[in-house]
């Protein structure tokens, strides 16, 4: 009886862990791309300032 009620719970926990990992990965990728975009903008602005167009 105990093993029957335990198995689905374990499977659900594993499923939730996988889901959280996927979510975490997506968030990290979004943050990384956002950081890269921000750095790119800052770098471009710095170059424009140096060349005197800004």
The residue behind tokens 């770098």 is 43
DSSP code of residue 31: H
> Which pTM value belongs to this model?
0.56
Higher pLDDT, 11 or 32: 32
Enumerate residues 6+ apart whose C-beta is below 8 A from 54: 45, 48
Q: Is the pLDDT of residue 15 over 80?
A: yes
Q: Is the pLDDT of residue 54 over 60?
A: no
């Amino acid at each position: 009886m105990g093993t029957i009620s335990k198995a689905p719970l374990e499977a659900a926990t594993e499923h939730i862990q996988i889901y959280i990992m996927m979510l975490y990965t997506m968030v990290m990728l979004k943050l990384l791309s956002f950081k890269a975009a921000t750095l790119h903008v800052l770098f471009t602005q710095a170059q424009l300032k140096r060349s005197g167009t800004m």
